[in-house]
Amino acid sequence: MRYENPLYLAEELGALDLLSDQRLAIGISRGSPEPALRGWEAFGYTGSEDPRGADIARPKFDQLMAAVRGETMVEADPAQHGRGMRLRVEPHSPGLDERIWWGAGSRETAEWAGREGVNLMSSTLLTEATGAAFADLQAEQLQQYREAWKAAGHSRTPRTSVSRSIFPIVTAEDQALYGQLQREGQDQIGIIDGFRSTFGKSYVGEPDRLVEQLKADAAVMESDTLMLTIPAQMGPELNLNLLGSFAEHVAPELGWEPNAQGPVTGYPIG
């Protein structure tokens, strides 16, 4: 959000949602660790006192959500509309606000997302390190999000997702490509964006073993959607093979059923 114009983004999302027959689901966050020195200022956004720009991201997100929900944002020109009229961003797509997800990197930001009434996306890292396993730490994050959601009095049921790097090995080629990743099957602790952080492990192995491991992953079982993190640099063909192997050999054992509308990269867990 540091680099975005909230009203312009609301306009674009509204148009895209209507064009896609209201099937848009959009994930938003403050943004990844800043590679440039106050890079948002080069895009014309000023006023941040935080070297990470976090203090401008949330107010801009609040403005985005107000616009997406159809709230009026500006006074109309009285010469054209008369006095006292206000305008919302157009096009407006009703219900789009219920399909917006906030990418939370900590338990505190997850609680904030619950209070705000948006869905929660939690990735393969958390900017916290308590000594707990990543999956257990993330499961706590999801629980605290739901508690904050309930305390805020929101009426609908929220959506939650977690991301995992998963590499099913079903062929000799898979073993050659991903076998070395099996050595990385442990959580890691490191520094990102100035925070001591916990990085979730990769899941690599034969399908039966992956099913067993994922069912033992507290956060995967706590969430309703599992998102796959796949290596884009490997190209579309290999990524499609990864997705296909997961969909055929692993996802059904976690309660997933094929989506008749076409391919998906998120798998609802039953």
Average per-residue pLDDT in the chain? 90
User: Residue 182: is its pLDDT beyond 90?
Assistant: no
Confidence (pLDDT) at 269: 44
Alpha-helical runs (H) found in 36-133: 54-68, 78-81, 107-116
**Cβ of 44: how many Cβ atoms within 10 Å?**
8
Nearest Cα residue to 255 out of 217, 211, 218: 211
**Cβ of 39: how many Cβ atoms within 10 Å?**
14
Q: What is the pLDDT of residues 19-41, one digit of tens each?
A: 999 999 999 998 877 788 889 89
Confidence (pLDDT) at 261: 52
Q: What is the pLDDT of residues 199-220, one digit of tens each?
A: 999 999 999 999 999 999 999 9
258: which residues sit within 8 A by CB, 6+ positions away?
247
Rounded Cα–Cα distance for residues 206 and 213 (Å): 11
Topology of the domain covering 105-259: TIM Barrel (3.20.20)
Rounded Cα–Cα distance for residues 12 and 92 (Å): 10
Confidence (pLDDT) at 82: 81
Q: Which helix (H) or strand (E) holds 249?
A: helix 236-249
Q: Where are the domains of the chain?
A: 1-97, 105-259
Q: Which helix (H) or strand (E) holds 164?
A: strand 160-164
Say if CB 93 and CB 104 are below 8 A apart.
Answer: no
Q: What is the pLDDT of residues 233-258, one digit of tens each?
A: 888 999 999 999 999 999 999 988 87
What's at 166, amino acid-wise? Answer: I
Tokens linked to 10? 């609301």
Q: In sequence order, what are the beta bridge partners of 192?
A: 195
Rounded Cα–Cα distance for residues 223 and 246 (Å): 18
Confidence (pLDDT) at 231: 83
